[in-house]
Amino acid sequence: MESAGLSGLILKRLASGLVTLFIVSLMVFAGTEILPGDVAHAILGQQATPDSVQAIRDELGLDRPAILRYLEWLYNFVQGDLGVSLISGREITDLIDTRLRNSFFLASVAAVIAIPFAVGLGLVAALYEDRLADKSITIMTLVFVSLPDFLLGYLLLLVGAVTLGWFPALSRISSSMSFIEQLQAVALPCLTLVLVVSAHTMRLTRAAVLSVMNQAYIEMAELKGAGRRRIILRHALPNALSPVLNIVMLTLAYLIVGVVVVEAVFNYSGMGQLMIDAVSKRDMPLVQACGLIFASVYVLLNLSADILSILTNPRRRRPK
């Protein structure tokens, strides 16, 4: 019975994820449709004439009803056909191949550094609650939480690239570079993501551990004379594992989406920069593909966090 109930909960979460993706696809398509300007004029530029504009609109099917174009676009996307770029005339799948790998590389390097660092700081802050270490970590994280991504990126660029000259100002990587060279190239955007993400993750980890510290079995352990370090590591942390894992998954989701602003600051050749370039050139199929890919990854990671929380926390399996 418990197994059937667990399967039912997971199926409900998967169904809600599909509904969310469908709604997001509608929003992405509608958002690109209501943008000011005309795609045909953007493609033709100064050579636009009424006849050439109409020819482009007929070729792209822009005169067809929006609902038909949306259904066709969604069907093709599910089939793996992302369409053709209006500006370059290349398949969008070919355009995003390398860019997507670059974005995942940047997000992966940042995650490998940020997650252990942030969870460790959260445990230290909980261990020394209301003491100097906790207050210092809290103040530091508040500073980085308050700074916008782009501002922090520009500050690191000014110090690390312009003033000290330790890192390149433009973060460009290629397959011909060694792994160490690639790490050096992404050092500044990676550090930007790490500082922003670690601040949020640390505060959430600290709150998750301290919420467990108020439970009755923690008080019993304290009455038995167990030290605070032992209580947190042996009793509180295992029971706080579910929310901490949920925090980790949400951090990964934020990293994937957060690369858009950071890539623009450091001119990094990833999906975020590709999407910004596509918006500036009104390459709507490319904008729609990038937007839906980002949204799909974010929704899937959030869905994974929800399912993981159900699997690791028996209380979430019981209906309220």
- Residue 279 exposed, middle or buried by CB count within 10 Å (0-12, 13-18, 19+): middle
pLDDT classification of 299: cutoffs 50, 70, 90: confident
Measured N-to-C along each axis, helices 92-127 and 187-212 cross at an angle, to the nearest 10 degrees, of 50
CA 97, CA 92: separation in Å to the nearest integer? 8
Q: How confident is the model at residue 43 (pLDDT cuts 50, 70, 90)?
A: low
Q: Which pLDDT score, from 0 to 100, does residue 1 have?
A: 46
Sign of CA dihedral 119, 122, 126, 128: positive
For 231-244, write each residue's pLDDT tens digit. 666 666 666 666 67
Express each pLDDT in 136-167 by its tens digit.
888 888 888 788 888 888 888 888 888 888 88
Compute φ and ψ for 91, nearest 5 degrees.
Answer: -65, 135
d(CA 50, CA 57): 11
Q: Where are the domains of the chain?
A: 2-36+82-317
> What are 86-113's pLDDT values in tens digits?
777 788 888 888 888 888 888 888 888 8
Report residue 104 CA to chain centroid gap.
10
| pLDDT for the residue numbered 42 | 61
- Smallest CA-to-CA distance from 157 within 264, 256, 271, 273 is with 264
Ramachandran area for residue 217 (φ above 0: left; ψ -120 to 50: alpha; else beta) = alpha
Residue that wins the pLDDT comparison between 4 and 160? 160
| Residue 266 reports pLDDT greater than 60 | yes
pLDDT tens by residue, 51-62:
666 666 666 666
* Better pLDDT: 47 or 189: 189
Q: Which string of DSSP letters, residue by residue, matches 18-73?
A: HHHHHHHHHHHHHHHHTSSS-HHHHHHGGG--HHHHHHHHHHHTTTS-HHHHHHHH
- The predicted pLDDT at position 64 comes to 73
Question: pLDDT per residue over 212-238, tens digit each?
Answer: 766 666 666 666 666 666 666 666 666
Structure tokens at 297: 């990854």
Closest C-alpha to 28, from 63, 65, 69: 69
Lowest mean pLDDT among 6-10, 112-116, 127-131, 301-305: 6-10
More confident site: 213 or 253: 253
Structure tokens at 221: 């352990």
Q: Class for domain 2-36+82-317, per CATH?
A: mainly alpha
pLDDT band at 122 (very low <50, low <70, confident <90, very high): confident
Q: Which residues contact 50 (CB under 8 A, 6 or more apart)?
A: none
* Selected residue with higher pLDDT from 60 and 121: 121
Average the pLDDT over each of 97-106, 265-274, 276-285 and give the range with the smallest value: 276-285
Distance CA 247, CA 61 (A): 44
* 183-212 mean pLDDT: 83
